[in-house]
Amino acid sequence: MSTTVPQGLEEIVSRWVDAFDQRDLDGMLERLDADVDFRPLRLSGLRGSYRGHDGVREWFAHLERLRHEHRIVLSYAWAGAEGRVFAVGSLSLAGEADIGSVWALHRIDGQRIAAAYQYLSDADVIEPVGPIP
C-alpha cells in the first residue's frame, strides 16, 4: 500500500499503484487514459511497452500467466510541470521484504495517466534527483 503521498496529481498515481498491488485491473484502467503509453518494469517474459487499455490488459494477462507477484510500495511522489509526476518506491515479492528500488515518471492529462514509465534502480541513484520541477 502507498504511503505519504499527497493529494492532487500524486493521488492519481498512488491510486493506480494501489490498484496494481491489489491486482485490480478495472481500478487500474479507470486511472489510465484510453491511449496510455505504458512502459512497465522490465521483468522476465514481458515486453518493453504497451499501448492503450488493450495493451495494459495484455500486460496484465502476461503477469498472471507468468505468476509475477511483485508489488510496488510508493515512498515519495512529486508533481512537476506539465502534469508530470515522479514517483519513487520499492519493489517487493510475496514473502520478501524490499528487493529493490523503483522509480517512475507519469504524465497526467486531465484526471488520467497518459504515459507511465517504470524503472528499476539503486536507491543511491534515485535519492539525489529529488522533486522534479
Asked if residues 121 and 133 have their Cβ atoms less than 8 Å apart, the reply is no
- CATH number at 48 reads 3.10.450.50
Considering the domain boundaries, does residue 60 fall inside one? Answer: yes
- Into how many domains does the chain fold? 1
In this prediction, residue 124 carries a pLDDT of 47
Considering the domain boundaries, does residue 3 fall inside one? Answer: no
Considering the domain boundaries, does residue 51 fall inside one? Answer: yes
Which three cell numbers mark 118? 517504470
Alpha helices per DSSP H over 8-122: 9-21, 25-30, 52-66
pTM, two decimals, is: 0.80
Q: Counting every residue, how long is the chain? A: 133
pLDDT, tens digit, 9 for 90 and up, residues 74-128: 888 889 888 899 999 988 876 666 777 888 999 999 899 999 998 887 554 444 4
**Phi, psi dihedral angles at 42 (to 5 degrees):** -80, 90
Rounded Cα distance between 99 and 58, Å, is 26
Rounded Cα distance between 113 and 122, Å, is 25
CA 115-116-121 angle, 5° bins = 150
Question: What is the pLDDT confidence band of residue 66, given thresholds at 50, 70 and 90?
Answer: confident
Rounded Cα distance between 38 and 36, Å, is 6
